[in-house]
Amino acid sequence: MNKEELMRRAIVLSEKSVKTGGGPFGAVIAKDGVVVAEASNSVTLDFDPTAHAEVNAIRTACNRLRTFDLEGCEIYCSCEPCPMCLGAIYWAHIDRIYYANDRKAAAGIGFDDDFIYQEIGRDLAGRHRPIECLLPEEGKKAFDMWRQKGDKTEY
């Protein structure tokens, strides 16, 4: 499939999601033009704020391919990925991102994507949710253990 066909598939998923009670978002992951996984937003259906289309598609693709590294894949999103999804896309090492609607359009229909992008750019003290470091010395032990572990699987 070409880029436009893959994006249309993501858009159709977003429309079906609206009709079935999910959010208006769809995502398709492809490798060499072949669909590896596709999903829609199921936040309200699954009672899971992380069940965005992109995250759902990443989970399916990784499970299907039996890997946590989706290098060589592309993702087609009906909307510009929110910061959480963008982070997941980077963690999964997906090569390229395509989107139809942007974050301003998502904000225009009541979604927080643009607000969260702005929030990330603020100093910690200026954020809308309090955030503070607590027990860093105790928390460091797991990092030291990881650093010293000889048989770890890097990711």
User: Can you name the residues that pair with 42 across neighbouring β-strands?
Assistant: none
Residue 104 exposure: Cα atoms within 13 Å on the Cβ side: 0
Whether residue 3 contacts residue 22, with contact meaning beta carbons closer than 8 Å, is answered with no
**pLDDT on residue 137:** 96
**pLDDT on residue 93:** 98
**pLDDT on residue 96:** 98
Calculate mean pLDDT across residues 115-119: 93
For residue range 30-67, what is the model confidence (pLDDT) as tens digits? Answer: 999 999 999 999 999 999 999 999 999 999 999 999 99
Pairing of strands 26-31, 73-79: antiparallel
Instruction: Name the average pLDDT for the chain.
Output: 96
Calculate mean pLDDT across residues 9-19: 98
Structure-token pair, residue 90: 């980077």
**pLDDT on residue 91:** 98
C-alpha 49/C-alpha 82 separation (Å) is 12
**pLDDT on residue 98:** 98
Structure-token pair, residue 148: 């010293």
User: Can you name the residues that pair with 27 across neighbouring β-strands?
Assistant: 39, 77
The position carrying tokens 């105790």 is: 138
pTM of the model: 0.92
Which positions are annotated as active-site residues? 54
Three-state SS for 35?
A: strand
Structure-token pair, residue 5: 């066909």
Under the banding of pLDDT at 50, 70 and 90, the label for residue 14 is very high
Under the banding of pLDDT at 50, 70 and 90, the label for residue 130 is very high
Three-state SS for 25?
A: coil
Q: Which helix (H) or strand (E) holds 4?
A: helix 3-19
Calculate mean pLDDT across residues 84-104: 97
